[in-house]
Structure 1
Amino acid sequence: MNTAKARTAAGQADTIIVGGGIFGLFCAMTLAEAGKSVILLDKGRIWAEASAVNAGSLGVQNKLPALIPYTLWSWDIWNTLSDRLGADLGLRRNGGYKIAMTEDEAARLGRVVSEQIDYGLDAQRLSPAALRAQAPWIAPDCMAATWSPQDGYASPTRVGPALRRKVESLGVRIVEGAAVAAVENGPDIRVLTTAGDFHGTELAITAGAWSATIAAMLGVKIPISLDVNMVSVTEPARPTIECIVTHARGILTLKQVANGSCLIGGGWQGIGSIGDSRKDIDHDQLVHNLRLAMRVIPGLAPLNILRSWAGYEGVTPDSYPYLGRLPGHDNVYLAACARGGFTLGPLMGTLLGELILTDRPSRPITIFDPARFSNAAA
């Protein structure tokens, strides 16, 4: 056994990462490719929470304007990821529509897309007539739409296993069922878990909605609220949705994947809490989501829903992710809670790894500084 494997087997590594979603795996890959030893911990299974249960959208149009450059930089990673991981990730970038169904939504769509274009979005405004000519499968009463060739999607069920194989091939030790009970800092990091104790020089917190709990163990309060998002999948169907569709108010995402199934997500919330790990479907709310989906895409109406599920998404007060050092701790880092984290995850995890390695990430991260809301008296 080489020295690095011996250290990680003994629970020691250069970097301990807590949280095995897309942020944590990309951080681990970045560090391991640079020669760092890494132990990746997760309280359950890796790739089992937000990264696994989202609908796989890789949208640009549905991001806040200031996040457009970061989304495009993340797409630079997505575009080469299949080759990098040696796997078919179900990646498609065939563009998408962002639609408005009322006059108020149309006005909002126009304001937002103007700002997004200023930040680098490639988008075209479409009149109702132009939309009907270009996408007759979208409801004819749609008031306005934008089209962007930059939207797409990938398969979370393919991405997760491929990332795991990659990081393990690089020597990263993954420890599942390792719920963190305490974290001690000084002079090195000690993470006490239900699967044993782990020691490192640096700690990276990439635990999504649970990140505030880990930060609090180090005396830092990081505000994170919880969304319980719902997704439904239909039976396989004839071609019904030609490309990803999102909504001006962020309350709908639609796509059809390779096997013909249609995925329906939206802003209506399920039921759940971090405390009891509950995440359930709210059937009354789900009905609203499905009705809107059928209104926007009439071809969905005859299809049967095969399954619906719910998943956690951590949300910051300004809907920008956290990325940077944990306040008061030079060797503890945090990356978590991006709206559209599946899209942004490759970049956010990579930038976190670069910050740990060099203190000079390749993209500016000041707007994501965890200190903007933190209170050291947790």
Structure 2
Amino acid sequence: MIGGGIFGLFCALTLADAGKSVVVIDRGPVWSEASAVNAGSLGVQNKLPALVPYTLWSWEIWETLAERLGADIGLRRDGGYKIAMTEAEAERLDAVSMQQKALGLDVRRLTQADLRRTAPWISSDCVAATYSPQDGYANPTLVGPALRRAVERSGVEILDDTAVEEIRSGDRLGVVTRRGEIQASKIAITSGAWSGRLAAMVGVRLPISLDVNMVSVTESARPTIENIVTHARGILTLKQVANGSCLIGGGWQGIGTLENQRKEVSYDQLVHNLRLALRVIPGLERLNVVRSWAGYEGVTPDSLPYLGLLPGHRNIYCAACARGGFTLGPLMGQLLGELISHGETSKPIDIFNPGRFAHVAA
């Protein structure tokens, strides 16, 4: 397993439960990239319609995860609002929610008057919203260490700070690192934004673009945001966690590339993110932002994850780059583990086939 984020660790856990010997390799500390630095949203309403069934299936794992890991993971599922601030956004909200409802999401449309009555803490600038009881969130800083402990208890070996220098394919499969070569019968690439670079080592061009998403956290406060809030255009996520801090995100872009390994806040973009948050939740105005950060997110051409065998290979797999990967991670990792260990999966994965965009080098 190359990559120790949420996809890789859940895949490793699934393989270990199936009796397989597993080694997880990560270029840095496990759980230090996208899985660690996201805002912890477990929203269903903010997913592409095609991902709604997968998000609901992943929630089935999330709901039993604290017990499975034997640890508090800060999980809350008390519903969420997806808001629109213009009539055009309201039309978009209606169209998407109808598709999502047809795919199994429990969601209802709210007028501006409905919203004022049920969520007066949301600004009257919001002209419409949808509400779903199936939205929620978890705390990535709690999930990661608990998941790592569970993976290690299952017998998986984890190698932090172990960059991959070469992947040997063909009859003699192996991963070459600065610590030496690790021989394997099968290899899984679960390295998020770096997955394209690893696929290139075995002659596969796997298109992945890079987002550098920003998140901000406020000081602790009295109740200000009662439910997770997302936006019809996908440009805002808001929540208040157990210690009273409010988290503000939504895909506003920071500065950085994989080449220079920069992940820096763009203050121009941050101002827009915070202004929008204040416009939606007026109660945030009295709070101080205590920290902002940026993190990498890999993005496929259609914003659906890669999951399956790499084209041209019978024993090298990939699972990476889901929009909303923290939400989908438990399921995506489990499905990859099923595919590797049994050759089939409990849920359909054809739409995630890496071959839909990947090309094998001549």
TM-score range, shorter chain: over 0.9
Q: Where do 1:160-175 residues align within 5 Å?
A: 160-175=144-159
1:19 and 2:3 correspond: yes
* Count of aligned pairs: 362
Distance in 1 (CA, whole Å) between partners of 2:6 and 2:315 is 21
Distance in 2 (CA, whole Å) between partners of 1:158 and 1:211 is 25
Cα shift at 1:193: 1.1
Cα shift at 1:188: 3.2
Residue 246 of structure 1 aligns to a residue whose secondary structure is strand
1:63 and 2:59 correspond: no
Distance in 1 (CA, whole Å) between partners of 2:333 and 2:184 is 19
1:361 and 2:345 correspond: yes
1:227 and 2:211 correspond: yes
Per the alignment, residue 152 of structure 1 pairs with: 136
Structure 1 unaligned residues grouped into runs of 5+: 1-16
Cα shift at 1:303: 0.4
Aligned amino acid, residue 268 of structure 1: W
Distance in 2 (CA, whole Å) between partners of 1:332 and 1:66 is 26
1:86 is aligned, of 55, 70, 73, to 70
Q: Where do 1:42-61 residues align within 5 Å?
A: 42-61=26-45
Residue 269 of structure 1 aligns to a residue whose secondary structure is coil
What is the aligned-residue identity percentage?
70
Structure 1 residue ranges (4+ consecutive) displaced by more than 6 angstroms after TM superposition: none
Residue 186 of structure 2 aligns to a residue whose secondary structure is strand
Aligned amino acid, residue 234 of structure 1: T
2:298 is aligned, of 314, 327, 330, to 314
Deviations 1:120-150 (A, max 9, x none): 1110100000000000000012111000000
Distance in 2 (CA, whole Å) between partners of 1:215 and 1:307 is 35
Deviations 1:31-51 (A, max 9, x none): 001110000000000000000
1:134 and 2:118 correspond: yes
The alignment yields a C-alpha RMSD, in angstroms, of 0.7
Cα shift at 1:187: 1.3
Cα shift at 1:194: 2.1
Per the alignment, residue 197 of structure 2 pairs with: 213
Distance in 1 (CA, whole Å) between partners of 2:75 and 2:139 is 7
Per the alignment, residue 161 of structure 2 pairs with: 177
Aligned amino acid, residue 331 of structure 2: L
Distance in 1 (CA, whole Å) between partners of 2:179 and 2:124 is 56
Distance in 2 (CA, whole Å) between partners of 1:77 and 1:144 is 31
Distance in 1 (CA, whole Å) between partners of 2:89 and 2:172 is 52
Aligned 8 A contact 1:177 1:194 in 2: no
Distance in 2 (CA, whole Å) between partners of 1:243 and 1:124 is 15
TM-score (norm 2): 0.99
Aligned amino acid, residue 229 of structure 1: N
1:294 is aligned, of 234, 259, 278, to 278
Cα shift at 1:377: 1.3
Per the alignment, residue 309 of structure 2 pairs with: 325
1:276 and 2:260 correspond: yes
Distance in 1 (CA, whole Å) between partners of 2:191 and 2:320 is 7
Distance in 1 (CA, whole Å) between partners of 2:251 and 2:329 is 20
Cα shift at 1:295: 0.1
TM-score (norm 1): 0.95
Deviations 1:153-179 (A, max 9, x none): 000000000110001011100001111
Aligned 8 A contact 2:125 2:279 in 1: no
Deviations 1:35-89 (A, max 9, x none): 1000000000000000000000000000000110000000000010011100010
Deviations 1:283-333 (A, max 9, x none): 000000000000000000110000000000000000000000010111000
